[in-house]
Structure 1
Amino acid sequence: MAETSLSNPAGLRAWLLSAEPGSRLQARLGRAYLGWRAFARNPLAMLGLAVVLLLVLVALLAPLLETHPPLSGGDLRTERLLPPSTAGHWLGTDDQARDIFSRIVAGARITLGVVLLVSIIAMPVGLLVGTVAGYFGGLVDTALMRLTDIFLAFPRLVLALAFVAALGPGIENAVIAIAITAWPPYARIARAETLTIRNSDFIAAVRLQGASPMRIIANHIVPLCMSSVIVRVTLDMAGIILTAAGLGFLGLGAQPPLPEWGAMIATGRHYVIDQWWVAAFPGLAIFVVSLGFNLLGDGLRDVLDPKAAK
């Protein structure tokens, strides 16, 4: 009977919305379904999700979408700084006769890679620092939070510039520098969440069962902090993109001939009056993707934030 009821949409919906789930899996799927329904009611959040999915799709299919080689140009005598045209180069060409559309498509891979790598590096560090500081308190909390305050005292781009200057230019060093500067906000959020959780009855019960502090943090506190941190990471992705573009613009991020959007704007600034398309289209790509991540983060905050009004 259960299999029959799940074979049609109405039965699946009833199973997901059951007030008495029969298993943990059913309960988790039911919560996820309710979250998706709340998220889908926000048109701006759906727009942000569409933009992010489009970025992922373009990054995955970049070799198929490129109309010209993104790293090599054509004839400098006849194809340099050509305006947008439906006949040959959809978004025009740059000063090296390279197709701007193909370079923007290829640059989507770099942008998505930077965002993912920074998130993978910075989020666990911030979670670890924040939960450890909030759980142990005292001297540990003071030391870790003062270290966090030092990082927060400097603008992110300025601090990233300092680290890249020390490590050397390059996309790998730019990722490391951005990740080093990105973790403090996550630590502050995780610490605040941990302070409200650590004296709860279920934490006391787990402690009485003999669980070690690190096991309590990893198995019970971190999962409860994840939703708030995920929302902040999503909202920060626009800032990560802008920081990476800023480093590329200054020549400290991806190095030529890589098609990084910030470096493309740096090249186009010399021709912004007469050949506006060289800088305008990479800038538009940064704007659209940053807006998409912001809209997606706002939608996730409305769904995942336990303090938000329902």
Structure 2
Amino acid sequence: MTDMAQPQHWRAWLLSDRPASRRQARLGRAYAGWQRFTTNKLAMVGLAIVLGLVLVAAFANVIAPYSPVEGGDLRTERLLPPSAAHLFGTDDQARDIFSRVVYGSRITLFVVVLVAIIAAPIGLVVGTVAGYAGGYLDAILMRITDIFLAFPKLILALAFVAALGPGIENAVIAIAITSWPPYARIARAETLTIRSSEYISAVKLMGASPWRIVLRHIMPLCVSSLIIRVTLDMAGIILTAAGLGFLGLGAQPPLPEWGAMIASGRRFVLDQWWVAAAPGAAIFIVSLGFNLLGDGLRDTLDPKASDQ
């Protein structure tokens, strides 16, 4: 088989209408989904931005030319405009803003990933258990969810951070506590549709316990919808973290958190605009990237959207 024919062979194998194994079927679905995803140009832009964030965070010590916490001479290097020596200028402590924005990507990625790891499983468990069990358990869990949804996310996060104390770890916990209710709602709605299907009835006839049905058969079917919602919520998580940092309740100085950088630069916004503009632009670009990526994943993973 020639080198030209081999990729065609693999493509035909992945897109076969009659897969010979579960592995082939799963790989075929993944490949078809990737093909649909790549046709969405804006989604590819979002993916590029998110991958760029990951790479910048991973290689921050290589990319950043200066220390993110140590400044230069306050007499000669304070509040310098953007130049070849300092691409984004310097702040009021003579620190290089470009280096601080680069290192701030690590804090942003840390918050986003940790909140998703904590909040998404909580929402998935609460929603699937409530949807499958029904009755009083459903009513109790959903009323608790409604209580959390009744408050604006930032206000509720502020209350939790005020109780736990300022700091990036407490900010992550507070954001995660306020982020799970929408995931629980989505998982419950999916479960109410799935639990009456013939597939679940067959599993019941085979003697599967309720917990096994929820864990092994319902939760996996809810994951795709949850991934879409989590990706779309990343921008909100970033803005909430930045809001807490802006108010002094998130990452504490001298950590280069983007919201805290905007807060320190607001005093100079009229004359030294670059101090607040650089971290603000970083928040905007990363939030836009997650929104575009989430829209692309919704079009790819949502079967209703793909059928239209």
TM-score (norm 1): 0.97
The residue correspondences of 1:195-210 to structure 2 (distance < 5 A) are: 195-210=192-207
* Partner residue in 1 for 2:276: 279
- Distance (whole Å) between structure 1 residues aligned to residue 302 and residue 212 of structure 2: 25
Q: What amino acid does structure 2 have at the position aligned with 1:251?
A: G
Cα displacement (A) at 1:309: 4.0
Q: Report the AA paired with residue 121 of structure 2.
A: P
| Matching residue's letter, 2:216 | N
Map of 1:215 onto structure 2: 212
Q: Deviations over 1:19-77 (max 9, x none)?
A: 11111111111001110111100000000000000000000001111100011100000
Question: Residues 80-119 of structure 1 correspond to what in structure 2 (within 5 A)?
Answer: 80-86=78-84, 88-119=85-116
Match of 1:146? 143
Task: Report how far residue 208 of structure 1 moved.
Answer: 1.8
Alpha carbons of structure 1 residues 85 and 5: separation in structure 2 relative to 1, 3 Å: closer
Greater Cα shift, 212-221 or 6-15: 6-15
- Asked if 1:121 is matched to 2:118, the reply is yes
Q: Would you identify which runs of 4 or more consecutive aligned residues in structure 1 move more than 3 Å?
A: 4-7
Instruction: Work out whether 1:44 is the aligned partner of 2:38.
Output: no
Q: Could you tell me whether the CA contact under 8 Å between 2:300 and 2:306 is conserved in 1?
A: no
The number of equivalent residue pairs is 307
Which of 178, 184, 191 pairs up with 1:194?
191
Cα distance in 2 for residues equivalent to 1:269 and 1:19: 59
Helix, strand or coil at the partner of 1:232: helix
TM-score scaled by length of structure 2 = 0.98
Q: 1:77 aligns with which of 75, 78, 100?
A: 75
Q: Which residue of 2 aligns with 1:11?
A: 9
Q: Deviations over 1:4-27 (max 9, x none)?
A: 899821111111111111111111
Determine helix, strand or coil for the equivalent of 2:305: coil
Whether the 8 Å contact between 1:5 and 1:11 is mirrored in structure 2 is no
1:250 aligns with 2:250: no
Which piece of structure 1 moves more, 203-212 or 56-65? 203-212
Q: Secondary structure in 1 aligned to 2:303?
A: coil
Which 5+ residue runs of structure 1 have no aligned equivalent? none
Residue 240 of structure 1: aligned partner = 237
Q: Which residues of 2 match residues 47-58 of structure 1 at below 5 A?
A: 47-58=45-56
- Can you list the C-alpha shifts for 1:267-297, whole angstroms capped at 9, x where unaligned? 0000000000000010000000000000000
Letter in 1 for 2:128: T
Shift, 1:255, TM fit: 0.1
Asked if 1:172 corresponds to 2:169, the answer is yes
1:181 is aligned to 2:153: no
Identify unmatched segments of 5+ residues in structure 2. Answer: none
TM superposition shift of 1:306: 1.8
Matches of 1:63 and 1:91, distance apart in 2:
17
- For 1:209 and 1:306, how far apart are their aligned partners in 2? 28
Measure, in 2, the Cα distance between the counterparts of 1:7 and 1:161. 59
Q: Secondary structure at the match of 1:292?
A: helix
What percent of counterpart residues are identical? Answer: 75
Sort the Cα spacing of 1:82 and 1:144 in 2 relative to 1 into closer, same or farther, 3 A.
Answer: same
**CA deviation profile, 1:233-288 (whole Å, cap 9, x unmatched):** 00000000000000000000000000000000000000000000000010000000
What is the rounded CA distance, in whole Å, between the counterparts of 1:146 and 1:206 in structure 2? 30
